[in-house]
Amino acid sequence: MCGRFTMAIDSEDLRTRLALGQMPLDWEKRYNIAPSQDVPTVPFPESRDVVWMKWGLVPFWAKDPSIGYKMINARAETVAEKPSYRNSFKNKRCLILADGFYEWRKDGKLSTPFYFQLENGEPFAFAGLWDDWEPKGVSSMPGLPGLTSCTLITTEANEDVKPIHPRMPVVLRKEVMWDWLEVDNPLALQSMLKPLPAGSLSRIQVSREVNSPQNQGEHLVEPSQETLF
């Protein structure tokens, strides 16, 4: 799974580098993005505007929005058929913008975090899905607002990630990421849900401070003072 990532690039710089549309006015660099938080997404290729969505997909048919806590990731192998995701796979795909992500290696009872980036440090997008949800029945959930939420798709790990974790997020480089929104052919879409080639990602061991989503700051993506892997 993928449970944390970063988007630590200035708004205007990111807009230029990824050819994006309008950016959120409340943009800020973030070094420890966690599930249930708002994440930067692009749902529409025509405008390429960046909008906030809650991380943790709540399908339109869900009775309770708490289902989103269990749906932060969707597996590439089943995303086209699984009832929770197939409608979004067909009609509501999105880009989730990032410049790095964390994975944890199990060391006995401890988990050691590692930070991954593209070798050139470029921003990229995770392949994502989104949906709109509205409460069903005003009497059962009075005052509960609707929400727009998303999930990111994972695949088997490449050789860069495999020593740390068996799975990794689907990373779309800027050269191909718009295809995820524009292509209609299911087989072509499925072919995009594969790991990056070996050697595409850098890896460093980082501080366990990243384990708490309350912790933020550039120091989280610096090499740990502990023994490196």
Of the residues 81, 103, 150, 175, which is catalytic? 103
- Could you give the CA distance from residue 50 to residue 41 in angstroms, rounded to a whole number? 5
Surface-to-core class of residue 130, CB atoms within 10 Å of its CB (0-12 exposed, 13-18 middle, 19+ buried): buried
130's tokens? 């989104």
Any catalytic annotation for residue 103? Answer: yes
For residues 196 and 188, give the distance between their C-alpha atoms in angstroms, rounded to a whole number: 16
Q: Reply yes or no on whether 2 is catalytic.
A: yes
SS (H, E, C) the chain: CCCEEEECCCHHHHHHHHCCCCCCCCCCCEEEECCCCEEEEECCCCCCCCEEEEECCCCCCCCCHHHHHHCCEEECCCCCCCCCCHHHHHHCEEEEEECEEEEEEEECCEEEEEEEEECCCCCEEEEEEEEEECCCCCCCCCCCCCEEEEEEEEEECCCCCCCCCCEEECEECCCCCCHHHHCCCHHHHHHCCCCCCCCCEEEEECCHHHHCCCCCCHHHHCCCCCCCC
Q: What are 103's two structure tokens?
A: 């994975």
Catalytic residues: 2, 103
